[in-house]
Structure 1
Amino acid sequence: MSDSLKDRVREKLLRQLAEDGGHPVQEAEGDDPRLVSIDADLAALEQAADGDVVVEELAAKYWVP
């Protein structure tokens, strides 16, 4: 397992999705703002390069050490 900040943030976001809904946002009932936010953050993370400020902002937002 890699220990890069981006990988740790991705792991945390995926864990949050599983804990909060357990299914993809597209299959969620209604428009749960928390699931939509996590999904958007995950998409932003995937577009970011390692060391990008977005990765650090998401790490702070989701309390990733």
Structure 2
Amino acid sequence: MLRRYLITNGIMTALLYGAVWAFAPSVSGVVRSAGSTIEAFAMDNPLFAPMIHRMVLISDR
């Protein structure tokens, strides 16, 4: 009975980690998405646009 529990627990743990790994976004995709969201916000806001564009230009170098 203990062996069956350990096998089942091991398989379910591997499946759970595999599912999380498959559906988790990659870091570069998250960074790119956040950058495009900030840039879209900056285009609409005349007060923050120059400041955000300078930050993006400095961070791209």
TM-score bracket, normalised by the shorter chain, equals 0.3 to 0.5
Q: Could you say which structure has the greater relative contact order, defined with CA pairs below 8 angstroms and 6 or more residues apart?
A: 1
TM-score, with normalisation over the residues of structure 1? 0.39
Larger Rg: 2
TM-score (norm 2): 0.41
Larger % of helix: which? Answer: 2
